[in-house]
């Protein structure tokens, strides 16, 4: 299973998308997933870990929410993404869980990760539509947001975008999460645990509600919250 960061070797320069392509669409995280009882009314303010729990993963797996890639106007981007996922993972057995857009006009995106409580590998990614220099940081790597560039990485990798400081043209990107159906999240046996699989093995561990509030395994261990 490849652990490396993947950047598409070619730019999809003629993608044909602009700000007008997103007019009339609901903003990021405003879909069926975000209307589940118990979530805050303002989806843009919800911490990412409030979305990724056992209930929401079931919703995603059963395809009960419409994603950006389900719309015809983004079908060519979806094909490009899935072609590169095939190159990255060497698997043609995958499923789109979520896809959404982000328009940044002066703000950034704080560090977070898409660590689903699932036994299968999750690949996350970003397609850069337009915008001035505002790189995406993934772990310790920095990827420049060149329009038409696609980047893929494992969902458990922390990532962020610094404050967008350009005026005029906003930074627009499309993000997505895919489940790789024939690849495990990790190689641990059932009785062992690592930071990749701890969310699915809470019966062996300290349990804090349905989820670990987005905490990494290292956080639990270093703060004496990890128990055999």
Q: What is the pLDDT of residues 130-144, one digit of tens each?
A: 999 999 999 889 999
DSSP letter assigned to residue 22: G
- Dihedral sign for Cα atoms in the order 226, 141, 176, 135: positive
Same domain (yes/no): 114, 89 = yes
* pTM for the whole structure: 0.78
How many domains is the chain partitioned into structurally?
Answer: 2
Same domain for 163 and 61, yes or no, is yes
Q: Is residue 1 part of a domain?
A: no
Same domain membership, residue 195 and residue 171: no
129 and 203 both lie in a single domain? no
CA distance 6 to 124: 11
Same domain as 180, residue 146: yes
Residue with tokens 């989806």: 43
The domain spanning residue 125 has which CATH number? 2.60.120.10
pLDDT score for 39: 34
Residue 117 pLDDT: 77
For the record, the structure tokens of 167 come out as 């005026």
Question: What's the whole-number average pLDDT of the chain?
Answer: 76
Domain of 217? 186-228
Same domain, 190 and 178: no
Across 119-123, 148-152, 210-214, the highest mean pLDDT is recorded for 148-152
- β-partners of residue 124 are 153, 177
Structure tokens at 224: 């004496």
Residue 83 has pLDDT above 90, yes or no: yes
For residues 202 and 156, state if they share a domain: no
CB 148 within 8 A of CB 13: yes
Picking from 156, 199, 160, the residue whose alpha carbon sits closest to that of residue 180 is 156
Report CA-CA distances (Å) from 57 to 4, 75, 178. Answer: 25, 24, 12
Residue 122 falls within a domain, yes or no?
yes
Cross-strand pairs, 151: 7, 126
Q: pLDDT at residue 182 above 90?
A: yes
């Amino acid at each position: 299973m490849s652990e490396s960061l993947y950047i598409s070797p070619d730019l999809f320069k003629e993608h044909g998308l602009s700000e007008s392509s997103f007019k009339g669409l609901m903003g990021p995280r405003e879909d069926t997933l975000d209307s589940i009882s118990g979530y805050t009314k303002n989806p843009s303010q919800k911490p990412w870990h409030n979305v990724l729990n056992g209930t929401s993963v079931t919703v995603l797996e059963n395809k009960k929410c419409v994603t950006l890639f389900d719309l015809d106007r983004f079908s060519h981007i979806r094909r490009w993404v899935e072609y590169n996922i095939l190159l990255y993972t060497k698997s043609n057995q995958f499923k789109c869980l979520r896809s959404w857009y982000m328009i940044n006009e002066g703000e950034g995106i704080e560090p977070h990760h898409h660590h689903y409580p699932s036994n299968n590998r999750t690949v996350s990614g970003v397609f850069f539509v337009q915008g001035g220099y505002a790189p995406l940081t993934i772990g310790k790597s920095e990827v420049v947001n060149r329009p038409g560039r696609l980047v893929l990485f494992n969902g458990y990798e922390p990532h962020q975008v610094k404050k967008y400081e350009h005026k005029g043209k906003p930074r627009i990107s499309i993000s997505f999460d895919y489940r790789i159906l024939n690849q495990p999240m990790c190689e641990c046996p059932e009785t062992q645990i690592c930071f990749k699989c701890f969310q699915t093995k809470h019966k062996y561990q300290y349990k804090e509600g349905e989820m670990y509030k987005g905490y990494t395994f290292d956080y639990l261990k270093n703060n004496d919250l990890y128990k055999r």
